[in-house]
Structure 1
Amino acid sequence: MVHLAPTRGLGRPVAGDGRSGFTVLAVASGGGHWEELMLLRPAFDELDMVFATNIRELADREGLTRVHILPDANRDVPIQALRCMVACAKLIWQVRPHMLVTTGALPGLFCLVFARMLGARTVWLDSIANSDRPSLSGICAIPFATQWFTQWRHLETKRRRYEGALL
């Protein structure tokens, strides 16, 4: 019997451990973004999970082994943002996720855009810290997100869903 690995995009195999045949890449910057993403972990227990963040110690603290470390980036330092964008493109090409879930910030946005370009389903969950308006990264993610969630009922619109808060 021949076992063919699931393919994505240009017929290249999907990376993963093969537990489910469905790879989810979960991406978050450090701090609150990461903490919120970790609250979602139980929802993906049966899936082939890969994580990405910009702080290795966070992954070590959670006991995660399938983690990619991305360069830190923000909009105020364009050269760092460019380095991060390139690293995100390489990561998406390597992992070929079927789904990408992110709680933001900029590295999550870059990964979300590239994953969507390769046909993955994408989920943006805006941080609970954004109580007055969506984050800038979140606003940029709207055209690329298959699903976009806010954690504040008053920010819900036709495109921004509210299903409750993580915290």
Structure 2
Amino acid sequence: MYQLSDIYKATWRSVILHIILISAFALSIQVAFELIFIYSLIVLLAFLCSRSLCSILMPLIDLDFEERKANILAIASVGGHWIELLRIMPLFKGKSVSFISNNQSLKETVLGYSFHTVPDANKDSKFKLLGCIMKVSAYILFLRPQVIITTGAAPGLLGILIGKILGIKTIWIDSIANAEKLSLSGSIALWLADRVYTQWEHLAVQPKLVYSGNVL
């Protein structure tokens, strides 16, 4: 995002995505449709009010929307995903990099870089998943990276999705453990990410799926 108009467009998409995700979550726990409608209406009205207020205040406030806290945002879950992410750290040399994972102890492996944690969530833990979505979104909006790169799994896929909505370049590296086919998250990322890498040459059969060696 470089121009204020781009931020406005991205915010509209973010509001719509937020309503869709909250509605899906609410329906999964059998919340009344009327409550979902009222909540969605409140979110839309709040956004319109804030947009109007922004238009009034912008001439009076000098904000630099090009300022970034990180050039690269690297995301991976604890375990093999994180190990594979660490293997590509030489590519980050000389860059401003922030890391996101779901285990605070991993901070010790990236000393000297900013590190942020999100809830350890999956499709079976709906409340934690919602918290993970909110935290990943907040970090991306705060850091404003140029590129989001991930080796998986859930936090990385959320980063790819949110990055796509906000117009940020996104890269997915599928785990080397997926030798027979792409992971489920990788298959979804194939539709979202700007570039998807497989670590197995025989899987690179689609134009968007790239093989450039492996990281292990």
TM range (shorter): 0.7 to 0.9
- Structure 2: tracts of 5 or more residues without a match: 8-63
Q: Which residue in the other structure is 2:215 paired with? A: 166
The Cα shift of 1:7 comes to: 4.3
* More displaced 10-residue stretch of structure 1: 72-81 or 41-50: 72-81
Report if the CA contact (8 A) 1:102-1:123 is conserved: yes
- Structure 1: tracts of 5 or more residues without a match: 1-5, 18-22
- Which of 119, 122, 125 is 1:74 aligned to? 122
* 1:141-156 alignment, distance < 5 Å: 141-156=189-204
| Distance in 2 (alpha carbons) for counterparts of 1:96 and 1:62 | 20
- Which of 75, 92, 104 is 1:56 aligned to? 104
Residue 87 (structure 2) pairs with residue 39 (structure 1):
yes
Cα deviations by residue, 1:42-65 (Å, 9 ceiling, x for unpaired) = 111111111111111112133244
| Distance in 2 (alpha carbons) for counterparts of 1:66 and 1:48 | 9
Cα deviations by residue, 1:16-64 (Å, 9 ceiling, x for unpaired) = 27xxxxx100000000100000011111111111111111111213324
- Which of 15, 37, 40 is 2:68 aligned to? 15
Amino acid at match of 2:211: Y
Residue 148 (structure 2) pairs with residue 95 (structure 1):
no
Secondary structure of 2:106 counterpart: helix
The Cα shift of 1:14 comes to: 3.4
Secondary structure of 2:99 counterpart: strand
| Distance in 2 (alpha carbons) for counterparts of 1:61 and 1:145 | 26
Cα RMSD, aligned residues only: 1.8
CA separation of 1:13/1:101 partners in 2, compared to 1, >3 Å: closer, same or farther?
A: same
- Which of 153, 157, 177 is 1:109 aligned to? 157
Aligned-residue sequence identity (percent) comes to 36
Higher strand share: 1
Instruction: Give me the TM-score of the superposition, normalised by structure 1.
Output: 0.87
Structure number with bigger Rg: 2
| Distance in 2 (alpha carbons) for counterparts of 1:29 and 1:155 | 23
| Distance in 1 (alpha carbons) for counterparts of 2:184 and 2:120 | 17
How many residues in Structure 1 have an aligned counterpart in Structure 2? Answer: 157
Report if the CA contact (8 A) 1:92-1:115 is conserved: yes
